[in-house]
Amino acid sequence: MNCPTCGNETESGAQFCGICGTDLASGKIAVGSEQPMVSFGESIGRGFSNYFNFSGRATRAENWWWVLFTIVSLMALTIVETVSGLPNVLSGIFRLATLIPSLAVGARRLHDINKSGWWLLLMFAILIGWIILIVWAIKQGDREPNKYGPDPRTTPHS
């Protein structure tokens, strides 16, 4: 039997193609190979390099590393301001500098679960909205391409 995706000859009764990973039992074609999880530093880099990019998708790791970065940075800046007697200058500048990339990462995270970035407006529904957004941020993204782009956890085969 030959794989319908790559044409590789497979063993009789094989469930997956040994070359491209296509599920031979269900006929589902593999989208690509799994990427390693995004690191803390890579997430910060993506957040700032995609400053105004509200399209595409972001993984859970990219989103949560970004959230951790902003929280830890704000805590550190608040401590520095308290010790030095500055009136929230540094943390205010940091909040302004990370507002747009935080919204962009949040929108791309929602895209990963096939939801519009406009759902971020739920943050204005203080308690209920925050709970819904946190639950959606925890949810695993779509494993296959959706209307917002390909799965960011995979790379296409060449």
Please check whether residues 11 and 63 belong to one and the same domain.
Answer: no
Residue type, 120: L
- The total number of structural domains in the chain stands at 2
Please check whether residues 94 and 132 belong to one and the same domain.
Answer: yes
DSSP string, 136-155: HHHSPPPSS-BTTBS-TTEE
Cβ pair 10, 1 in contact under 8 A:
yes
Provide the pLDDT confidence category of residue 33 given band limits of 50, 70 and 90: low
CA angle, corner 128, sides to 126 and 132, nearest 5? 115
CA angle, corner 130, sides to 125 and 133, nearest 5? 115
Q: Say whether pLDDT at 19 is over 60.
A: no
Please check whether residues 51 and 95 belong to one and the same domain.
Answer: yes
- State pLDDT tens for residues 98-157: 999 999 999 999 999 999 999 999 999 989 999 999 999 999 999 888 999 988 888 654
Please check whether residues 103 and 124 belong to one and the same domain.
Answer: yes
Residue ranges making up the domain that contains 97: 39-141
Please check whether residues 80 and 21 belong to one and the same domain.
Answer: no
Residue 152, in any domain of the structure: no
Q: Which one has a higher pLDDT value, 5 or 75?
A: 75
Residue 155, in any domain of the structure: no
- State pLDDT tens for residues 53-106: 999 999 999 999 999 999 999 999 999 999 999 889 999 999 999 999 999 999
Nearest to 48 by CA among 100, 120, 117, 119: 100
